[in-house]
């Protein structure tokens, strides 16, 4: 099924070195989303996910809190048109 929506998010705070990517990937897969999560050079985490809008909203709610050990201060979001370019959700390096 083609993706209904696309979420692009930059997560700020203490989000590297706390398994943020691992737990984001796990949650995204539970929600049947595709895309990726990656650490950026400035200490933030970038998430690009596609799927059904309610599932993306659930992922966004997770990103606003993060896993234990994380401290999220801000999440910048964009909702561009989905491209359906992904076949799974992965951690990128």
pTM as predicted:
0.97
pLDDT, tens digit (0-9, with 9 covering 90-100), for 10-54 = 999 999 999 999 999 999 999 999 999 999 999 999 999 999 999
Task: Kindly list the domain boundaries of the chain, sorted by start residue.
Answer: 5-82
Is the Cβ–Cβ distance between 45 and 14 less than 8 Å?
A: no
Catalytic residues: 21, 39
5-82, which class in CATH?
alpha beta
pLDDT, tens digit (0-9, with 9 covering 90-100), for 64-86 = 999 999 999 999 999 999 999 99
Distance between CA atoms of 19 and 3, rounded to whole angstroms? 27
Sheet arrangement for strand 34-39: 71-78, 5-14, 45-51, 34-39, 89-92
Other C-beta atoms lying within 10 Å of the C-beta of residue 9: 22
Other C-beta atoms lying within 10 Å of the C-beta of residue 36: 18
């Amino acid at each position: 099924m083609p993706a209904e929506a696309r979420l692009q998010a930059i997560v700020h705070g203490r989000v590297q070195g706390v398994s943020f990517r691992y737990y984001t990937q796990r949650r995204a897969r539970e929600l049947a989303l595709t895309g990726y999560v990656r650490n950026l050079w400035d200490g933030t985490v970038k998430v690009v996910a596609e799927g059904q809008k309610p599932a993306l909203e659930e992922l966004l709610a997770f990103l606003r809190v993060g896993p234990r050990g994380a401290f999220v201060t801000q999440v910048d979001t964009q909702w561009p048109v989905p491209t359906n370019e992904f076949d799974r959700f992965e951690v990128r390096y």
